[in-house]
Amino acid sequence: MLNKNFKPVILITLILFTVFSISSCQKAKDTIGVVVVKDSNGKLVSGATVVLHLDSLAENQQGNTYNSNLRKTDITDASGRAEFTYELEAIFQVSVQKTQGNNTLTGSNVIRLLKEKTVTQEVRIN
């Protein structure tokens, strides 16, 4: 009688173990910041250099200066977008520069990245 009940219990236990072990190994989603660059007329700007960085004087809670590998640079695509991927959330300064002939257009803003979310921030340059 013990043998009749023992086989289904083992089978159910193995199924439950398999289901829980597979679902617990999900990779965290990326933390993505998208910067959209527009000119003073509201037109999308391609080919602009976008830099995400921390204030040069920024320190963490332990009083240490943040690691410089958090600084990232990208060039906007045809739709005026530059995309940055980080593991954790953070607040970054956004600096944008575009040279057109003899003119250099600049702009800045701040972006707050939220863990496992995609955040979009617009920057106007003039």
Share of the chain above pLDDT 90, in %: 60
- Distance CA(73)–CA(92), nearest Å, equals 12
Across the range 67-83, mean pLDDT stands at 90
Task: Report pTM.
Answer: 0.73
CATH for the stretch 28-125: 2.60.40.1120
Residue 79: pLDDT band by 50, 70, 90 thresholds?
Answer: very high
User: DSSP class of residue 65?
Assistant: B
Amino acid at 15: I
Domain boundaries, the chain: 28-125
- Sheet of strand 81-86, all strands in order from the earlier edge strand to the far edge: 81-86, 31-39, 118-125
Q: What would the two tokens of residue 108 be?
A: 């800045």
> pLDDT digits over 28-73, tens only?
789 999 999 999 999 999 999 999 998 755 555 556 555 567 899 9
